[in-house]
Amino acid sequence: MITDQVQTLGIQPGDHIEAWHNGKLFHKGQVTDVVRSLELIWIMDARTGTRKLLDPDALEIIRVRV
């Protein structure tokens, strides 16, 4: 699996991402929406099957190439 740390500008709907904080994986899933003006990312969390709102200022967002 190849990963890239990315800025919010590089994230697009359809991307697969992981969200980390202090070395711990918190969320993993596919991006459904990006609100660039607020720098927020919505994903469908692969672990829970629910939609999650991610704050890139609070999390390290990694794009995962599948």
CATH of the domain at 23: 2.30.30.520
Confidence band, pLDDT 50/70/90 cuts, at residue 17: very high
Compute CA distances 53 → 1, 2, 15, whole Å: 24, 24, 15
pTM of the model: 0.81
Q: Which domain holds residue 10?
A: 2-65
Q: What is the pLDDT of residues 31-61, one digit of tens each?
A: 999 988 888 899 999 999 999 999 888 899 9
Mean pLDDT of the chain: 86
- The CA distance from 34 to 2, in Å, is 22
Q: Are 51 and 42 in contact (CB under 8 A)?
A: yes
Domain count within the chain: 1
